[in-house]
Amino acid sequence: MIQALRLPLAARRPPDRFRTIAVAISCIAPLAILTIVAVLYREAAPAVVHFGAGFLLARSWNPVSLDFGALPFIYGTVATSFIALAIALPVGLAVAIVLAQPGARRLRATIGTGVELLAAIPSVVYGIWALYVMAPYLFNHVELPVSERFGFIGLLSGPARQTSLFTAAVVLAVMILPTLSAVSRDV
């Protein structure tokens, strides 16, 4: 006991290295976010000064005349997301209900494996599949017949296209299906 008191202070209270490292590492994430915000602000400031807030509500995009507007892109993102949720939510809830049932082990195993495999597919693969497989299929079997039969309705009017909001929404619905079913199962 007396020998322990004769030790230098550094030997009696060793530094808590783990705590120091943990605090240092936990400071990295907020610093990274602040750095990203600062760089975005610095790089976007000239464009915000030049184009103003009207950039968000303008509809045209013409790089030749330096006329830029983000409204079509914002609308496309919001519309695609809502359509994808409208498609994926009922399917995700149904999958979650099937996976939560105590019976039908084979069905649960098959559906559970399929949904987990969907979660493992990279988004680039989904995009290529959508462009070369899903877009032509939806154009020929869904969009063209709907446009021909119900084209008089405002929302469905206009020419059918292979690359459309509907195609993007269907692919996005397939992409979010594993997450929706997992969240629904946990709730």
Q: Does 171 have pLDDT greater than 90? A: yes
Q: What is the pLDDT of residues 135-170, one digit of tens each?
A: 899 888 888 888 778 877 766 666 767 778 888 999
- The three-state secondary structure class of 101 is coil
Q: Which residue, 143, 135, 142, is CA-closest to 167?
A: 135
Q: What is the pLDDT of residues 83-130, one digit of tens each?
A: 999 999 999 999 888 888 887 788 888 888 888 898 899 999 999 999
pLDDT at 185: 80
- Taken as a whole, the chain contains a residue count of 187
* Confidence band for 10, pLDDT divided at 50, 70 and 90: low
Cβ-based neighbour number of residue 143 at 10 Å: 20
pLDDT at 148: 79
Residue 148 one-letter amino acid: E
Measured CA to CA, the distance from residue 9 to residue 23 in angstroms comes to 23
Measured CA to CA, the distance from residue 30 to residue 34 in angstroms comes to 6
Q: Does 174 have pLDDT greater than 90? A: yes
DSSP string, 147-165: HHHHTTSGGG-S---SS-H
pLDDT at 7: 54
Q: Does 21 have pLDDT greater than 90? A: no
